[in-house]
Each structure stands twice: as C-alpha cells, then as structure tokens.
C-alpha cells in the first residue's frame, strides 16, 4: 500500500523550525531523533510533505503528541483508508470494529519499521550488542525494561518473524488469538504506536476505549501488569523473557479447534 503523506507548506515548516529552535536542537540532532536523514529534515523545514509513517518520528523529536497540519480536515486518519492494506484483519474488524483493524494495520507497519531500523544498526555492531547500546533506538524505550540487555540481533529477528506471521494471519482473516507473551507484547506495541494516528481523527479521539481491543483479545491485562510495572519477574514466571516465545495461552482451545478440522 502506498504511503500517505501529510501536506507540507510554509506554515507547518515554520512551526517545525520554531519548535526545533525552542528545544535547542540542531538540524542534525532533530533528524537523528526523528530517525530521518538530514536532507529529509531540511525538506520538512522547506515546506515539503511528510510521509505519514515518518510523522511519529518528527513528533518524537519535537515532543509533540500530534503533528500540526495546515488542513486538518483532509489529513486526519481515516480507518476506512486502510481496508486494502495487506495486514487489514477482517477478524479484528468483525470482533472489535474497523478502528481495531486499522490500528493493527498501521501500527504493525510502524513497529516493523522500528525493528528493521534496529536490526540494521545492530548488524554493524559486535555480536551480542543490545538495543540499549545503540545511539538511537525506537524499541529501547517501548520494550519491557527488565530485559533490555536481551534485545540483541537474534531476538529482534525472531520478533520480526513473529510480527510478519501475525500480519499474514490478519490479511487472511484468520483467528488473531495471542498464544505467547511475544504475541501479546507485539499487539500491545502495535496499539500504542498507532495511537498518535488514530487520535488525529477527531471522531475516534472521543472514543476513549478504542484501544480495548487489545485486552479484549487477551482476556486480561497481565502483559502490562507484569512487564510494564516495577515487578521483577523470576525465571519460572509466564512473562519472564525465557518464556516469551512459548505458546502457553489458549492452547487447549486451539488444539480442540484443530482436531475438528
């Protein structure tokens, strides 16, 4: 699916430049924080359009929740625009609505970009380097902090493979049940990273519970309770890093369904 762009213009360019100067950032620093090249950032400040998947980085660099636009009516996020996306899930749409399906589609694009960027950065570092040692990483601040030093090239490659598998299930309209802690982490990150786009649609911004599809899919909020709190997990815990790839959730139901086909 072709990437949509946020219309540029000198009004937006001026806001970007003014905000960068307000934060005391050089163009090089802002570009690095945004995950784009220096020339690309300069084009933003010259009034050129910004690819929608790059808006998150620009907002992060400038400490904005949303990117201000000159024509908000045309530029806000519309879930229906993503119906032709390869990762649109008719399963999620049927169970939780089109906002959930759009959230998965666009959020999985963003998360996949994050993983690919960190994989590329790790590929030039010594074996065993983790993402906390990189100059810049989108994943480091959003993955569970207890296991930061486990997030090396091999782990990210496995995470990418699982994400691509879940996107394949989505595109096929298959059951999207989370069977492993890794599945739950991926779904949670997808919902979180799609939030800035979803909430740019004023119609959806009023739906405070639009992200509930994630926890409705899990049946609980244990992934946040155990992995994004001050809890220190021991080796035998279901959410310990050593078990992230294990299929330990809803397997009896899945096996029963498989036996009837």
Structure confidence by residue, pLDDT tens digits, 125-184:
999 999 999 887 879 989 999 999 999 999 999 999 999 999 999 999 999 999 999 999
Residues 6+ apart with CB under 8 A from 23: 62, 63
What is the spatial distance between Cα 216 and Cα 187, in angstroms, rounded to a whole number? 11
Helix (H, G, I), strand (E, B) or coil at 100: helix
For 34-82, the DSSP string reads HTS-HHHHHHHHTT--EEGGGHHHHHHHHT-SS---S-HHHHS--GGGG
pTM here is: 0.74
Q: What percent of the chain lies above the pLDDT cut of 90?
A: 49
The pLDDT assigned to 5 comes to 60
Helix (H, G, I), strand (E, B) or coil at 221: coil
Domains of the chain, CATH where assigned: 5-75 (1.10.260.40), 80-259 (no CATH)
What is the spatial distance between Cα 6 and Cα 49, in angstroms, rounded to a whole number? 6
CA quadruple 129, 130, 135, 137: dihedral, nearest 10: 150
pLDDT at 59 over 50: yes
How many Å from the N-terminal Cα to the C-terminal Cα in the chain?
33
Helix (H, G, I), strand (E, B) or coil at 230: coil
pLDDT tens for residues 203-239? 555 455 778 899 999 989 999 999 999 899 999 899 9
Helix axes 153-171, 98-123, angle to 10 degrees: 150
What is the spatial distance between Cα 259 and Cα 224, in angstroms, rounded to a whole number? 33
For 111-178, the DSSP string reads HHHHHHHHHHHHHTS-TT--GGGSS--SSTTTS-GGGGGG--HHHHHHHHHHHHHHHHHHHTT-----
Helix (H, G, I), strand (E, B) or coil at 5: strand
What is the spatial distance between Cα 142 and Cα 157, in angstroms, rounded to a whole number? 17
């Amino acid at each position: 699916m072709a990437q949509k762009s946020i219309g540029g213009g000198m009004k937006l360019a001026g806001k970007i430049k003014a905000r960068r100067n307000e934060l005391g950032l050089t163009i090089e620093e802002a570009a690095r924080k945004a995950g784009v090249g220096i020339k690309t950032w300069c084009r933003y400040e010259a009034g050129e359009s910004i690819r929608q998947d790059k808006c998150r980085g620009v907002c992060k660099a400038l400490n904005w929740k949303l990117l201000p636009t000159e024509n908000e009516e045309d530029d806000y996020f519309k879930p229906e625009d993503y119906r032709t996306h390869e990762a649109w899930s008719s399963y999620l749409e049927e169970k939780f609505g089109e906002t959930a399906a759009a959230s998965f589609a666009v959020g999985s694009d963003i998360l996949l970009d994050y993983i690919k960027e960190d994989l590329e950065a790790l590929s030039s570092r010594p074996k065993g380097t983790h993402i906390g040692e990189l100059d810049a990483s989108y994943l480091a601040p959003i993955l569970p902090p207890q296991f930061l030093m486990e997030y090396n090239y091999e782990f990210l490659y496995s995470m990418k493979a699982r994400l691509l598998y879940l996107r394949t299930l989505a595109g096929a309209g298959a059951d999207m049940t989370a069977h492993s802690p890794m599945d739950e982490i991926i779904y949670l990150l997808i919902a979180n990273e799609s939030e800035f786009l979803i909430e740019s649609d004023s119609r959806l911004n009023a739906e405070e519970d639009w992200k509930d599809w994630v926890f409705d899919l899990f049946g609980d909020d244990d992934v946040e309770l155990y992995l994004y709190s001050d809890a220190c997990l021991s080796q035998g815990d279901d959410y310990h890093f050593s078990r992230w790839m294990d299929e330990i959730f809803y397997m009896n139901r899945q096996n029963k369904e498989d036996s009837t086909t």
